[in-house]
């Protein structure tokens, strides 16, 4: 992995800021909604400056991250009853550490392939976005 | 997610058994090598009957799983110096819970896309397999 400079303060990567909407700030992560109505798709971003790999987390941080993945997965399961959850930390294109938690259905546009690079993102309409955020926040704050 | 029958004892799914080679048994997981020389690619399978989703793990189990993901990632990093690690629990095709930990390079055959469904698996030659297993086991047991 490439060497990197000493990180400054945490800041959300501009690509993630452009592709996602804020849902809630958790103890470790920002939890955000991917702006793609093809799939109920959450993204967790640990609020740690310079983190690129799961290996960059201390043990307490990585345990906390799995707790927040669990929270995100439960919210998706309760809200959408998916056939499967997909959880992934890839980061080949956006270097800031982030974890995808995606609700998958046997009739979604990429099934059974992973979602990345299959079909173009379908941004939410304003009304659908408001409704989806409300449904998820209700479950995340319960 | 579909309802399921009460699980019997843990048994490795036949597809995972066919696609991977054993490396080491950890506290929670079997750690195995994917038989695809395109990428250094490890698979962790929690030895828990009936587990399909990360949500099926108790808190101690999921913390332990992240510790074993960390161990697998460190072994790949130390052995291969990848540009990026990819970590994913998908399970759209093989229902048994398993986690991929993959060393990625900017000149690998799928870069920068995720590896699934891109190029056909390239099985190791017997000599390369023995050497790769030896290199990884040395780091996993250190």
pLDDT in tens, A17-58: 999 999 999 999 999 999 999 999 999 999 999 999 999 999
Helix/strand/coil percent split, chain A, to 5: 30, 20, 45
Rounded Cα distance, A84 and B52, in Å: 9
Question: Helix or strand or coil: residue B83?
Answer: coil
Q: Which residues of chain B make contact with A73, given a CB cutoff of 8 A?
A: 53-55
Q: What is residue A129's predicted lDDT score, i.e. its pLDDT?
A: 98
Please, are residues B140 and B71 in contact by the beta-carbon 8 Å criterion? yes
Q: What pLDDT is recorded for position B79?
A: 96
The half-sphere exposure of B95 on its side-chain side, counting CA atoms within 13 A, is: 10
Q: Going along chain B, which residue ranges are E strands?
A: 20-25, 29-34, 41-46, 84-89, 99-104
d(CA B88, CA B37): 19
Q: Give the per-residue pLDDT at B68.
A: 98
A–B: how many Cβ contacts below 8 A?
A: 111
pLDDT per position as a tens digit, B59-109:
999 999 999 999 999 999 999 999 999 999 999 999 999 999 999 999 999
pLDDT value for A8: 76
Residues of A engaging B, defined by a Cβ cutoff of 8 Å: 1-2, 53-55, 59, 62-63, 65-67, 69-70, 73-74, 77, 81-93, 104, 111-114, 116-117
Q: Could you tell me the CA-to-CA distances from B137 to B18, B50, B73, B84, B117 in Å, in that order?
A: 20, 28, 13, 21, 28
Report, as ranges of residue numbers, the positions in chain A whose pLDDT lies below 50. Answer: none
CA separation (Å) from A12 to A9, A42, A49, A93?
10, 15, 9, 15
| Residue among A65, A85, A92 whose CB faces B104 most closely | A92
- Amino acid A131: pLDDT: 97
Bridge partners of A32, per DSSP, are: A22, A43
Average pLDDT, chain A: 95
Under an 8 Å CB criterion, which residues of B touch A?
1-2, 53-55, 59, 62-63, 65-67, 69-70, 73-74, 77, 81-93, 104, 111-114, 116-117
d(CA A102, CA A84): 8
The answer to ipTM > 0.90 is yes
Helix (H) and strand (E) counts in chain B = 3, 5
Q: Is the N-terminal amide bond of B112 cis, ω within 30° of 0? A: yes
| Confidence at residue A111, expressed as pLDDT on a 0 to 100 scale | 98
Partners of residue B70 in chain A, C-beta under 8 Å? 54-55, 59, 62
Q: What are phi and psi of B40, to 5 degrees?
A: -70, 115
Q: pLDDT tens across B15-47, in order?
A: 999 999 999 999 999 999 999 999 999 999 999
- pLDDT at position A141: 81
Query: Contacts of residue A55 in chain B, CB cutoff 8 Å?
Result: 70, 73-74, 77, 85
Provide the whole-model pTM.
Answer: 0.94
**pLDDT tens figures, B115-138:** 999 999 999 999 999 999 999 999
Helix axis angle for A59-80 and B59-80, nearest 10°, is: 120
* Chain-chain contact of A92 with B84 (C-beta, under 8 angstroms): yes
Position A5 scores a pLDDT of: 57
| Chain-chain contact of B1 with A93 (C-beta, under 8 angstroms) | no
The confidence score (pLDDT) of residue A3 equals 55
């Amino acid at each position: 992995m490439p060497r990197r400079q000493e990180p400054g303060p945490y800041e959300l990567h501009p690509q993630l800021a452009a592709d996602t909407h804020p849902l809630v700030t958790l103890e470790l992560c920002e939890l955000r909604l991917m702006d793609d109505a093809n799939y109920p798709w959450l993204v967790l971003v640990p609020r740690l400056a310079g983190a690129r790999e799961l290996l960059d987390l201390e043990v307490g941080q990585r345990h906390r991250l799995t707790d927040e993945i669990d929270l995100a997965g439960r919210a998706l399961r309760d809200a959408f009853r998916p056939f499967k959850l997909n959880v992934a930390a890839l980061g080949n294109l956006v270097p800031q550490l982030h974890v995808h938690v995606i609700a998958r259905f046997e009739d979604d546009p990429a099934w059974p392939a992973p979602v990345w690079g299959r079909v173009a993102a379908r941004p939410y309409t304003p009304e659908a976005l408001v409704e989806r955020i409300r449904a998820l926040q209700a479950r995340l704050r319960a």
